[in-house]
Amino acid sequence: MEARKILLNEDEMPRQWYNILADIKMNPPLGPDGKPVTPDALAPVFPMNLIEQEVSSERWIDIPEEVLGILKIWRPSPLVRAFSLEKALGTPAKIYFKNESVSPPGSHKPNTAVPQAYYNKEFGIKRMTTETGAGQWGSALSFACSQFGLECKIFMVRVSFDQKPYRKSMMSTWGGQCVASPSMETKAGRDALAKDPNTPGSLGIAISEAIEAAVTDPSGKTRYSLGSVLNHVMLHQTIIGLEAQKQLAKVGDYPDVVIGCAGGGSNFAGLAFPFVLDKINGKAIEIYPVEPAACPTLTKAPFVYDHGDTARYTPLLPMHSLGHAFVPPPFHAGGLRYHGMAPTVSQLVVEGLIKPKAVTQLDAYAAGILLARTEGIIPAPETTHALACVVEEAKKAKEEGKAKVILFNWSGHGLLDLMAYDKYFAGELSNFVLEDKEIEAAEKVFENFPKPAIMKSR
Amino acid sequence: MEARKILLNEDEMPRQWYNILADIKMNPPLGPDGKPVTPDALAPVFPMNLIEQEVSSERWIDIPEEVLGILKIWRPSPLVRAFSLEKALGTPAKIYFKNESVSPPGSHKPNTAVPQAYYNKEFGIKRMTTETGAGQWGSALSFACSQFGLECKIFMVRVSFDQKPYRKSMMSTWGGQCVASPSMETKAGRDALAKDPNTPGSLGIAISEAIEAAVTDPSGKTRYSLGSVLNHVMLHQTIIGLEAQKQLAKVGDYPDVVIGCAGGGSNFAGLAFPFVLDKINGKAIEIYPVEPAACPTLTKAPFVYDHGDTARYTPLLPMHSLGHAFVPPPFHAGGLRYHGMAPTVSQLVVEGLIKPKAVTQLDAYAAGILLARTEGIIPAPETTHALACVVEEAKKAKEEGKAKVILFNWSGHGLLDLMAYDKYFAGELSNFVLEDKEIEAAEKVFENFPKPAIMKSR
């Protein structure tokens, strides 16, 4: 019987991350003066060792031993051959996935939370702040901080805080302190509450609160942390794709198609970037980031300079954006409800190295249920978007009679999102598809911003 | 750096289960007539191939290839060296655990759900019924039935059904149909509701409903399934201990102490029985089933003949029992709230081969939080009872300056039980310790039952 799971031993783990900045040209982030942001300007927000990583153009960056030691709690993650799905679809395609749901918080997020906590600790930081929407990222940072003895403070968007009380419990169990945002603890929070005491909150406000809580700590021992979008976050996630390459080599396979869902871009980048390097070096391979049709950043929005947050605290980043004031419709994949996209992922779209796709919520859940009943794991709502694309590609391979190799990222499990499945079965979920005029209206906010150069790296 | 996880490849999985009935003498189960139950009498309830397994005295029983194929979704489970816990406790003990939380439903339960579904399917059965308390078992059977294309119907104790809606969602996602018990679908349920329309339900009533729903199906294609207590359930779980033996051999270690929590007995038996065989063959080893002080079946209750359910539908089983009418106090580890204990586990206590321990709820949660913050995984409330014993043993090893090897079973994760952690942090949990007179009162129910022989097998 062929193996379902292709495993690596801990001593086969990659010892370096892959930094895509070595291989593509990027527009720089811009400060309030319209000039490229200097590392010093970011020093109150992030520790300098992470800022150095953010701007590094070294292709390979060593993973510290202490980080590997913690990652080994769940890594290397299994590469799984999806035999049951293949059989259910009757496809000649060989389908593989990296199972990133096996981490204690249940997603790929701790791949960067652990090194971020490590570098903060190394820099003498005692306390980290962050925001969280659906809760995956806040859980991951709480877990990572517990491993390094750091305090962790999480501002969780109120509507999610109220809807998903278990996420707060998870953070508390690891010692993190989670408060609903807007809170009375920051000026940004108090201002938001003064404006609307019943506000459901937003990721934008939560980011503002977390940044403010970090930079106003008089001890200077607090820093802010972001779970996606930034270069160093993508860097840390590349361990996923680097492991997958080793695992596929063990069974003598190589993907024709690589697929990951994309919200801020980190789980997609983690799997895909090492394969992008192969593509740059001449491999024929299709690479698809998959986003919700209700938040079509890569498929419908322009490549612009925009802020990462609603309150415009962050530098201007070169990315595909629906506008920093855009509020996505209330679909369930909270991790994909982001107006922008990682600048590195955006640049790869500009260069034509990757091809974005969009799927609707109902197609995503249908695929999620098919996967739960074949491969056994209940997927996170975010992951179901990748699954819908996988099912489509597998069906296409069947029509074409091609034994394609498809690789995708199972970014997380849905055990803390089961209410969404209930709603699907009850027929209470619907599709949200944005009209072009809604998108045009949202994009007005960056009309007067500088424009990034449209560059090809080769 | 030493490995945290000792892995097996799929082709190193055990190919046979260990059947402890080959090595110990047992009192037979008794029917309503006071005589040993015949296989035929059980035929309306279970498929004959499982009944044969229930009464088999073959020491080794082959695991079917089809069963192995499904178990490989998550098995072999990792054996983990708990370096971080050892460091936190400053103990010279080497601590290992089997991580059974990695299965899709999150516990050891699918180790038996999968073979039970397989044997039912082989026997031509189309639909399985069962009861569930906290929900781990119902989830596991839904998952297993989805793999074999069987229908699955779960009667879930109403109080848990209302408190843990996510468990029902999980079962639905795998295609199982979960209803609150008592329901209007069975006579047993209707009678219970007629007596008290607001009853919170009980495991006893839910068992009665599930058995009735199986035996009254006119097609004859429905059977009942039990997730613990019975011999064949313990048999299927032994894959845990058999894997652990192979994994420990890889690192040249052997346990001085083996620990598992015990409710009905199945996760404990799964890890411990292969080591009991070693002990019978001369190995010096301490083996501890750990139960809640609030439901002290093995530590305080007598070894008697009693029914497995409140409604007295089951045969009389030889076991330690607090009485089939006993209602445990409302502590959170639902999987340990059972009045009886597996007959095989009970017999091992009678023979002095294993030594039961009891721990309080608050000690259990304190240990659970320590483990979450060191080893990273948030344990199920049931598992925390084993953890409290592990911490005690590790501290004792420190006092004695002994480099003992401790092995325990991490039976499940607590991601669907996080509310209990919230209550712990809020100071809302308390200890329940039963008074001797409460136990004596509960035990009145079997005063006039036949008495099992107190036998030693050698």
- Ordered per-residue pLDDT tens for chain B, 458 residues: 689 999 999 999 999 999 999 999 999 999 989 999 999 999 999 999 999 999 999 999 999 999 999 999 999 999 999 999 999 999 999 999 999 999 999 999 999 999 999 999 999 999 999 999 889 999 999 999 999 999 999 999 998 898 888 999 999 999 999 999 999 999 999 999 999 999 888 888 899 899 999 999 999 999 999 999 999 999 999 999 999 999 999 999 999 999 999 999 999 999 999 999 999 999 999 999 999 999 999 999 999 999 998 878 899 999 999 998 887 887 788 888 889 999 999 999 999 999 999 999 999 999 999 999 999 999 999 999 999 999 999 999 999 999 999 999 999 999 999 999 999 999 999 888 788 888 888 788 888 999 999 999 88
Q: Which residues pair with A286 in a beta bridge?
A: A257
Contacts across the A-B interface (CB distance below 8 Å): 116
- Return phi, psi of residue A362, to 5°: -70, -40
- Cα(A211)–Cα(A77) distance, rounded to whole angstroms? 32
Structure tokens at B8: 């097996």
- Return phi, psi of residue B371, to 5°: -70, -40
Q: Does A7 touch chain B (CB under 8 A)?
A: yes
Give the closest of B10, B147, B170 to A4, CB-based.
Answer: B10
Task: Name the one residue in this structure whose structure tokens are 């990583």.
Answer: A53
Counts of helices then strands in chain B (DSSP H, E): 19, 15
Q: Which residues pair with B292 in a beta bridge?
A: B359
Quick one: CA torsion of B28, B30, B34, B37, rounded to 10 degrees? -90
- Cα(B28)–Cα(B49) distance, rounded to whole angstroms? 19
Q: Please list every residue in chain B whose beta carbon sits closer than 8 Å to the beta carbon of residue A417.
A: none
Residues 6+ apart with CB under 8 A from B170: A378, A415, A418, B105, B135, B139, B142, B416
The count of C-alpha atoms lying within 13 angstroms of the C-alpha of A321, restricted to the half-sphere facing its C-beta, is 28
**Residue B79 burial by CB count (10 A; 0-12/13-18/19+): exposed, middle or buried?**
buried
Chain A, window 65-94: residues with a beta carbon less than 8 angstroms from a chain B beta carbon: 65, 68-69, 72-74, 84
Residues 6+ apart with CB under 8 A from B385: B261, B290, B291, B292, B333, B336, B359, B364
Give the closest-approach CA distance of A75 to chain B in angstroms.
Answer: 9
Give the closest of B1, B376, B418 to A143, CB-based.
Answer: B376
Q: How many CB atoms lie within 10 A of CB B225?
A: 29
Write the DSSP string, B158-194: HHHHHH-HHHHHHHHHTT-EEEEES-SSSHHHHHHHH
Give the closest of A9, A104, A172 to B422, CB-based.
Answer: A172
Contact A298, A352 (CB under 8 A): no
Contact A450, A28 (CB under 8 A): no
Query: pLDDT below 50 — which residues of chain A?
Result: none
Over residues B219-239, the pLDDT tens digits come to 999 999 999 999 999 999 999
Over residues A265-320, the pLDDT tens digits come to 999 999 999 999 999 999 999 999 999 999 999 999 999 999 998 878 899 999 99
Counts of helices then strands in chain A (DSSP H, E): 19, 15
Note whether A73 contacts B421, CB cutoff 8 Å. Answer: no
- Return phi, psi of residue B28, to 5°: -75, 155
Give the closest of A72, A143, A416 to B4, CB-based.
Answer: A72
Quick one: CA torsion of A117, A122, A123, A129, rounded to 10 degrees? 20
Q: Does B172 touch chain A (CB under 8 A)?
A: yes
Q: How many CB atoms lie within 10 A of CB B62?
A: 11
Q: Does B249 touch chain A (CB under 8 A)?
A: no
Note whether A375 contacts B73, CB cutoff 8 Å. Answer: yes
Note whether B166 contacts A376, CB cutoff 8 Å. Answer: no
Note whether A1 contacts B174, CB cutoff 8 Å. Answer: no
Q: Does B220 touch chain A (CB under 8 A)?
A: no
Note whether A174 contacts B372, CB cutoff 8 Å. Answer: yes
Note whether B65 contacts A1, CB cutoff 8 Å. Answer: yes
Give the closest-approach CA distance of B143 to chain A in angstroms.
Answer: 7
Closest residue by Cα to residue B94 from B233, B231, B224, B257? B257
Give the closest-approach CA distance of A4 to chain B in angstroms.
Answer: 6
Model pTM score: 0.96
Q: Please list every residue in chain B whose beta carbon sits closer than 8 Å to the beta carbon of residue A10.
A: 1, 3-5
Residues 6+ apart with CB under 8 A from B12: B76, B246
Residues 6+ apart with CB under 8 A from B378: A104, A170, A173, A174, B368, B372, B413, B414, B415, B418, B421
**Residue A3 burial by CB count (10 A; 0-12/13-18/19+): exposed, middle or buried?**
middle
- Cα(A188)–Cα(A195) distance, rounded to whole angstroms? 11
Task: Find the closest chain B residue to A11 by CA distance.
Answer: B3
CATH class as words, domain B64-106+232-446:
alpha beta
